[in-house]
Structure formats: C-alpha cells, structure tokens
Amino acid sequence: MLLKILVLAIAAMGAASAQSDRRNCESSCGNLNITYPFGSGEGCYYSPYFLVTCDRSSGGEPVLFFGENTTNIVISNMSTSKSEVEIMMFVGRDCYDSSGSVGLDEPTLTLTDFRISAKNKFVAIGCDTYAYFEGRRGGDQVDGTGCMSKCGRDSRLTDESCSGVGCCEVAVPEGLQNFEMTIFSVYNHTNITDFNPCSYAFFVEQEQYNFSTTNLLDFENVSKMPMLLDWAIGNQTCNQAKDKDGFLCKENSKCDQDYGGPGYRCNCLEGYEGNPYIADDCKNINECERQIHDCEDKHICVDTPGNYTCTCKDGYSGDGRKNGTRCTANQSTVIKIALGISTSVIFLFVCVTWLYLVLKKRKLITLRENFFKQNGGIMLQQRISGDGSSQNQAKVFSIEELKKATNNYDESKIIGKGGYGTVYKGVLSDNRIVAIKKSKLADQTQAQIEQFINEVVILSQINHRNVVKLIGCCLETEIPLLVYEFISNGTLSDHIHNKDNLSALTWDIRLRIATETAEALSYLHSAASVPIIHRDVKPMNILLDDNYVAKVADFGASKLIPIDQNELATLVQGTLGYLDPEYLQTNQLTDKSDVYSFGVVLVELLSGKMALSFDRPEEERNLAIYFLFSLKQGRLFQVLDERLQLNEVPSEIIQVSRLAERCLRVKGDDRPTMKEVAIELQGVLASTIQKHPWVVSGSNEDEGEYLLKELTTDYESTHGGNISNASSSTFDSMSKHTILPIASGR
C-alpha cells in the first residue's frame, strides 16, 4: 500500500513538473523519439513505469523498467495516438543434445500501467514442443492458453504455415497484465536434435513473424521478438478523472470514451494532430494545403481551426463540397453563361463549317491518295499497265458505292469468311448482285499488300466461264476491297459435306463439276497469258451457280509462273489434306501441285468425305491415303458416297478413280498434267452424256446439246477421232492398268 501511494505521489509530481517545463527532458534515444507521458530524466515522465532509460553504453538503447524482479525491456517504437509501445520481448527456449537437457529459459512479464495487446500472437516452434502461458486480467482471474507442435524427419514442412507441423500459434486474450510461460518437450527431442534441438516460444506482433522451415535449426540466434503493449493513464475512467487535478488530456484533445479501461486515454480532436498529453501540442491540420478536402475543383478551400470551408466564386451559392450542396450558379449568372456559351457555339459553328467546307475536298483527296498508295495502287498500275486492252481491266469503285451496296457492311450481309478476308453480298446501283471481299490487311505489311495486288492482277487476266469473274476493286479505304460476280449456290464443300442437304449431288453432276474445274485449272496452267498456279485447290474454293456450274475462286495464294520456268521456290502455303507432299518437302511449287490438290477434290466427290478429319478412325483420317489403300485392296465401293445410291460401281466411277489415283502419286513427274486430266474427264463426261443425254443439268435442252457438242469437239480435236472410238484412245491408256476387283457389297 505504501508503495502504491509513493508511486501515485511521484506520478503527480512528475506530471506537474513535466507540464511546467520540459526543456530539460531528452527527446530521443538511439532511433526512438521519446514523448510524454514517456520520458527520460527527472520530471519528464508520467509515472515510474513510463520512465525510459537510455543505455548509451550499448549505442543508445531505450529501456523500460517493469519492476525490480523483471529485466529491463528494450523499446523499439511508441505511439501516443494509438496508446501502444513496442518492446523487444525475450524468446523462451527448451534445448537438448544427445545427453539430455542443456538449457531452459521461460521468460515472465508483470505489468502495472500496461497490458499485453491482443494484436500479438503466441507462437511455438519445434518438432517435439508443447508451450503455454498463464496471466491475470484484473483481480485474481487467471487465463491461459497454448499449443503443441509435432513433426519428424520426413514431415512435409511449409514456409509461412504455422498449423501444428513444426510450428503452432494461438491468439492472445485481451487485457492480460502479466504472463508466465511454460515450455517442455515430451520426448526430449530424441532422434531429432541434429535438425531441431530446441523448442521455442514467444509473443510477437501478428504481422511481424512468418514461420520458415529453417527456424527449426537457426532460431537459436534469435533472443528477442517485437511485442506490442497497450497503455493508459492511471486506473480511473474519463468521467472519473476529467474533473481532478493531474488530468492529462490537454487543449484541442478529448478523452477516449470508447476505451473500456482500466485508466483513460487521450486523443487529439478531429482536424488536429500531435501529442494530446502535452499542452498546446495538438495542432490544427491544414486540409487545404494537404489536399485532403472535398471542395469542388473550381472552388476555394479555406482552412479553419479543426476543419475547413469551401467558398463559391462570385455568382454561385452553396457549400462548395462534392458531397454537399456544391456550388450552383445564380439565375442571373446562368443567363449570362447561357448567352455567352450560345454566342460562342454559334460563332464556332460558323467558323468550323466554313473551314470544313474549305478543307473537306482537299482532305478527302489527300486521304484517298494516301490509302491508294498504302493499298498498293501504284503497284497495281504498274502491273496492269502493260495490258493495252481495257476490257480485262477491273473497275475502280468508290467507297460510297460499296457502303451503299452492303448497307455499310452490315453483318447480315456476310456470306463467308476465309484466311484472306471476309466476303459480303451486295447490290450495286445497276441492280447487279456482287460479292465484296474485304481483305485482312489491318497491319499493312508489304507481304499482305503484294498478296492483295496479286489477286487483282491474276483475276483481271483471266477470262474463263469456270473462273469467278473480277468486276472491280476499291483502294480508297484503309482495308482494300475486291468486287466479284456473285455465285448464288454456295461452295462445292457445302453440297458434298452437308449431310442435312436433301438435294445431294448426283454422280453425273459431280462428274460435270469435276470436268469444269479441271478445264479451269488447265486454262490457268497452259492457256493464260502467264501460267498461274492456284496453290489452294479445294471444294471451299469451288463455287456453284444455280445450274451447278463450277466457278474456281479465291486466288489469294496463287502464283504467276514466268514462261521460262517450270517451278518456283516458295514458302509452303495451302490447306492441310490438299497439300502436295512433294511441295511440302522441297518448297518447289509446280503446276503438278495443283494436280495433287485436284486429285483430293476428285476423291471428295467420289466419297462425300472431308479430306482431313480427326473424327474418323486413325487409318481413315487422311482421305487421300485411305482412298489409295482401298483402291489397292479392291475395296473401292466402301469408299464411295452412300448418297450416290449405287448397287454396283459404274465404269465412269472406276475411270475417275483411276484418274484420281494418278493425280495423287507422290512424285509430281508421275502425275498427269492438268490439261491431260481435263481431256480425260471430258472423255468420261462425253461418254456419259452420249449414253444418258438427260444427265446434263443445263437450264434447257439447247444448252445440253451445246455442251455435248462442245465436249465431243474438244475430245475429238485432241485425240484425232470421234467419240465412238473413245475406248481405243484415252481408254486404251487405262486398259494398260489392271482394273482391281471392286467390292460388290456396301
């Protein structure tokens, strides 16, 4: 009792002295700023428990005195606003070697004006560890808790995981005034002393420690850990202490009514900062200078003691705050502003309109010239300038014409997308229906520009009934456009691969499509002014009109072959399943590459199957290989399209199958030319028409007679005989090959 009276008397004297003159008090020790109610020196601290002793012999270490039976504790940080002090608390340990225990240290701590903060956690480290603590929370009430940590040599330890394997942790109860720590090992760390000789236990701030697996061995070098203590003034509440001498909450501060004690705490009022325990130290915060206000950007912030106000400019009223009534213009001001804005807008509109009319034509011309050059217009002019005839030159459309034709490229007008662009259906002003291709040249690389110009030049040189006709192009846009004749009946792929298509192509129509496609490719290879290799022959690039007339399309990957060259070295381009294997290996492109691709098309017409499909069994995935194998095994019938509804294999199908086999030979030199393929197919088709004149699917009888006459003339001019002698000409060459047996069942 005498000791308590003495402590209170000293505290009162210290408080009074500190308020009167703190000029002789030390303000720092080492890296720590010391501020009241803590202090170093006579009359500089609130009570003996707030005395900070600066141990300069160890380089300036600030320590707190917690009682005669407690070792002085080093302070690492303190806060008057949070009423917290951070100390470096000792780590408890229980160590062993092969002979047994070699050291036990179980630290304790007893507090008076301080409490152990609930922001700490209690941690135990070790593979044979049980640690707990007990403490009082006012009166004689004893509380405690702890945890156990186990592990072995083969345990899976994880950094930052303190769940009981190598490390465990528990929360600290709030308001403890003291603690006594107990550590022990169940098996004395037997058989694990080489990698974990000790058990450790300590209090630590929750954010200041994360477990590491190396701690099991290297933690012996750690003697202290940062621990938080809460503090308060005396043992009276705010209401009990505020009217008594020695009350420490000074000007511009308040007593914290939310703190539940024991004792009381002081805080600076809102809008002030500093130490509330020192007279006149809670200073006003200038929110305007620090930009921590909510005044509207265009209005003025005025600092006031503990707060600020927002003033509106002349002609405005309100509180000027973003979250308040803001500043609104007075009626007269609104009228003036409206008149000013209206006048300015009218004047600006007149100026802009005049300037727009003056510059529009010049800017439009410049922009179109830039796009024209960017899209290879000069290159196109150079490529076609050598052609003195104008009949093959494409028309150059304006951007307005094509926008109108496609309803500004509406998505509903899209009829196809490919590797080189998107195709739209459009209607020109003269009511012609066209297909407009928008190329993918957004990045404007030189290779893509050349690709686009290549397609224009190639198509402008072609004049064949079975090649899609180029009508024109547009170079005035960032992405250049091509305009083709519109082919209404989709692609060959749509008809032979769409299983839901009720109007499946008959064999006679398929044969005619194959013949027309071969004639078109033959024309490209041998009859065009400069030989052209298509390089991407496939059903997707063969279009059909309403009468199933074939039109070869998509020349984006094509190559012009100089007359004095038979092959070109190029980067491999094309579609898997149709690529010439010889071209794929050598990069040498020849007209026989198109022959191989056409052979795959023939097989698709015969089988109705896709060239490459991973949905089929492995041996059937590549259609060309599977077809050749089936033909060799005499099982042609099982490859044929079931929709042909054949009970037996007609001779025409056998002839076309043999032709496809020759087209698919690995060596290009072993394949026929496209011209030979076309002639042979003409012979097969002419023979079919002679036997079944109704197979011609032209629009009327005259057209069928014309086609029969034309095929007969072409064939006889090539073979020097009439169609009745077909078996002694072209078909004689086929008779030299043994006809493999054909499976009779489906």
Q: How far, in Å, CA of 746 to CA of 659, rounded?
A: 22
- Report if residue 728 sits inside a domain: yes
- Report if residue 268 sits inside a domain: no
Q: Which residues are annotated as a binding site?
A: 438
- Report if residue 236 sits inside a domain: no
Q: How far, in Å, CA of 744 to CA of 746, rounded?
A: 7
- Do 507 and 425 lie in one domain? The reply is no
* pLDDT value of residue 715: 45
Domain end, chosen from 485, 501, 526, is at: 485
Q: Which residues are annotated as a binding site for ATP?
A: 438
CA atoms within 13 A on the CB side of 106: 13
pLDDT digits (tens, 9 = 90+) for 302-316: 899 989 988 887 777
- Report if residue 343 sits inside a domain: no
* pLDDT value of residue 558: 65
- Report if residue 20 sits inside a domain: no
- Report if residue 183 sits inside a domain: yes
Q: How far, in Å, CA of 257 to CA of 268, rounded?
A: 13
What total of structural domains would you count in the chain? 3
* pLDDT value of residue 182: 95
Q: How far, in Å, CA of 516 to CA of 518, rounded?
A: 5
* pLDDT value of residue 738: 30
- Do 96 and 163 lie in one domain? The reply is yes
Low-confidence ranges of the chain (pLDDT < 70): 1-23, 58, 67-71, 298, 332-333, 384-394, 418-420, 440-445, 447-448, 451-452, 455, 500-503, 529, 556-572, 691-746
448 residue type, one letter: Q
As to burial, measured by CB atoms within 10 angstroms (0-12 exposed, 13-18 middle, 19+ buried), residue 645 is: exposed
- Do 454 and 420 lie in one domain? The reply is yes
| Residue-number span of the structural domain to which 172 is assigned | 84-231
- Do 466 and 517 lie in one domain? The reply is no
Q: What tokens were used for 557?
A: 């990957």
- Do 213 and 95 lie in one domain? The reply is yes
- Do 498 and 477 lie in one domain? The reply is no
- Do 445 and 380 lie in one domain? The reply is yes
* pLDDT value of residue 245: 87
Domain end, chosen from 231, 266, 301, is at: 231
Q: How far, in Å, CA of 411 to CA of 434, rounded?
A: 16
- Report if residue 418 sits inside a domain: yes
Chain-centroid distance, C-alpha 620: 37
As to burial, measured by CB atoms within 10 angstroms (0-12 exposed, 13-18 middle, 19+ buried), residue 736 is: exposed
Catalytic residue positions? 536
CATH code of residue 468: 3.30.200.20
- Do 453 and 600 lie in one domain? The reply is no
**Which string of DSSP letters, residue by residue, matches 35-92?**
-TTSBSSTTSSSSGGGBEEEEGGGTSEEEE---TTS--EEEEEEETTTTEEEEEEEPE
- Report if residue 591 sits inside a domain: yes
CATH code of residue 587: 1.10.510.10
Whether the CB-CB separation of 668 and 495 falls below 8 Å is answered with: no
pLDDT digits (tens, 9 = 90+) for 530-570: 788 888 899 999 999 989 999 998 876 666 665 455 555 56
- Do 97 and 190 lie in one domain? The reply is yes
C-alpha closest to that of 389 among 461, 470, 497, 308: 461
Task: Indicate the helix (H) or strand (E) that contains 370.
Answer: helix 331-374
- Do 416 and 502 lie in one domain? The reply is no
- Do 471 and 500 lie in one domain? The reply is no
Instruction: Please state the pTM of the whole predicted model.
Output: 0.48
φ, ψ at 143 (rounded to 5°): -120, 155
φ, ψ at 163 (rounded to 5°): -110, 10
C-alpha closest to that of 406 among 489, 477, 494, 492: 477
Instruction: Name, in order, each residue with C-beta under 8 angstroms of 130's C-beta and a sequence gap of 6 or more.
Output: 124, 146, 147, 148, 149, 183, 184, 185, 186, 199
User: How many CB atoms lie under 10 A from the CB of residue 644?
Assistant: 18
Instruction: Name, in order, each residue with C-beta under 8 angstroms of 744's C-beta and a sequence gap of 6 or more.
Output: 637, 648
Domain end, chosen from 216, 231, 246, is at: 231
- Do 456 and 497 lie in one domain? The reply is no
Q: How far, in Å, CA of 285 to CA of 681, rounded?
A: 97
* pLDDT value of residue 433: 93
* pLDDT value of residue 737: 33
